[in-house]
Amino acid sequence: MHQALFWLYMINAILLINHEIDSAYWKEWELFKLPGGLSFFLLLHFPLLFLVLYGLILVHTQSPGALVMSLVLAAGGIFAFSIHMFFINRGRPEFRNPVSLFILIALLVVSFAQAAVTFYLLG
């Protein structure tokens, strides 16, 4: 089951990273009214991407904290889907192209699967 969690985490991390690339295209800092524009948005992603990739290492080595990091990533995927659907349903034009929507839907599905496996491993 640890092997399944590793692959689910990796797939979810790839989806989330691709979503963040898509977010730069859509100028997500404007959507969320973040200060600092692109520069702040990019700087913010250094620690976020570090944590995502560090979590993958923890999951791979079955280290303490691995399951917590897995739940954090799964929650991040569910949140990303939810908040973007909220904006889409309010008429915002961002993230409406087929690939953007596919990434968001895949994030939701994989995040739920990852959370389920993580909770199973928590016992």
pLDDT one-digit tens code per residue, 35-77 = 999 999 999 999 999 999 999 999 999 999 999 999 999 999 9
Q: What is the pLDDT of residue 14?
A: 98
Share of the chain above pLDDT 70, in %: 100
How far apart are alpha carbons 26 and 115 in whole angstroms?
Answer: 28
Looking at residue 36, what is its pLDDT?
A: 94
Helix (H, G, I), strand (E, B), or coil: what is residue 100? helix
Q: Can you give the residue ranges of every domain in the chain? A: 2-122
Q: State residue 58's pLDDT score.
A: 98
* CA atoms of 15 and 97, how far apart (whole Å): 16
- DSSP H helical ranges for 32-97: 37-61, 66-89
Q: Which of 74, 104, 89 is nearest to 9 (CA)?
A: 74
d(CA 6, CA 16): 15
What's the average model confidence in pLDDT over 92-112? 97
Per DSSP, the three-state class of 104 is: helix
Verdict on whether the full-model pTM lies above 0.85: yes
Comparison of pLDDT for 109 and 31, the residue scoring more: 109
